[in-house]
């Protein structure tokens, strides 16, 4: 299942920029809709964890983004699991480079094995084109009483 999910996300990442090439804006604005595919690798306790995520978001205002998605986790020392998550981000009003938009946010995870977790996030969108950005993100959180730090990297497509 992990390979099929990896192939599906890779195909979406490659296909979506071509489909969405007719956009004429850059960055967060009220009413914007985004799709994101991302992955990460982290050390969680004594276990190496690789994640693949897919999410959709909506900008309620020019600086407030809400959304949700699904995340697949594959671990070296335990079972694989899937999590649904919701998120909220606030975009900081600073920076002189219009291609870089920095945000802080919060995440809530609900795993299919009955555990849940919370995380704070700091990330940014760096625009390669008007409607395509790369998205590194740092999360610091807690899953079922165990702290974790995760650095992820993704590709975001801006649809509206």
Tokens found for residue 51? 């994640």
What per-residue confidence (pLDDT) applies to 84?
A: 96
What per-residue confidence (pLDDT) applies to 91?
A: 95
Q: Is the pLDDT of residue 134 over 90?
A: yes
**Residue-averaged pLDDT of the chain:** 84
Tell me: the pLDDT tens digits for 69-124?
A: 999 988 887 778 899 999 999 999 887 788 899 999 999 999 998 889 999 999 99
Domains of the chain, start order:
2-158 (2.40.160.20)
Tokens found for residue 148? 């974790």
Residue 77 CA to residue 150 CA, distance in Å, equals 17
Q: Is the pLDDT of residue 21 over 50?
A: no
**Mean pLDDT of the region 13-21:** 48
Q: Is the pLDDT of residue 20 over 50?
A: no
Residue 1 CA to residue 57 CA, distance in Å, equals 25
Element (DSSP H or E) covering residue 117: strand 116-129
Query: Confidence class of residue 155 from pLDDT cuts 50, 70 and 90?
Result: very high
Tell me: the pLDDT tens digits for 23-68?
A: 455 678 999 999 999 999 877 667 788 899 999 999 999 999 999 9
Q: Is the pLDDT of residue 153 over 70?
A: yes
Q: Is the pLDDT of residue 22 over 50?
A: no
What per-residue confidence (pLDDT) applies to 83?
A: 94
What per-residue confidence (pLDDT) applies to 67?
A: 98
Spatial CA neighbour of 39 closest among 5, 88, 86, 85: 5
Residue 156 CA to residue 145 CA, distance in Å, equals 31
């Amino acid at each position: 299942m992990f390979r099929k999910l990896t192939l599906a996300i890779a195909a979406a990442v490659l296909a979506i920029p071509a489909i969405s090439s007719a956009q004429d804006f850059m960055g967060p604005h009220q009413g914007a809709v985004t799709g994101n595919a991302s992955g990460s690798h982290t050390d969680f306790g004594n276990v190496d964890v690789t994640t693949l995520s897919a999410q959709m978001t909506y900008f309620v205002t020019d600086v407030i983004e809400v959304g949700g998605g699904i995340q697949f986790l594959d671990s070296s020392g335990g079972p694989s699991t899937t999590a649904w998550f919701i998120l909220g981000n606030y975009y900081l009003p600073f920076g002189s480079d219009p291609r870089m938009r920095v945000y802080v946010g919060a995440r809530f995870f609900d795993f299919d094995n009955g555990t849940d977790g919370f995380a704070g996030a700091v990330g940014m969108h760096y625009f390669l084109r008007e409607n395509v950005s790369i998205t590194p993100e740092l999360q610091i959180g807690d899953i079922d009483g165990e702290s974790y730090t995760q650095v992820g990297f993704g590709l975001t497509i801006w649809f509206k």
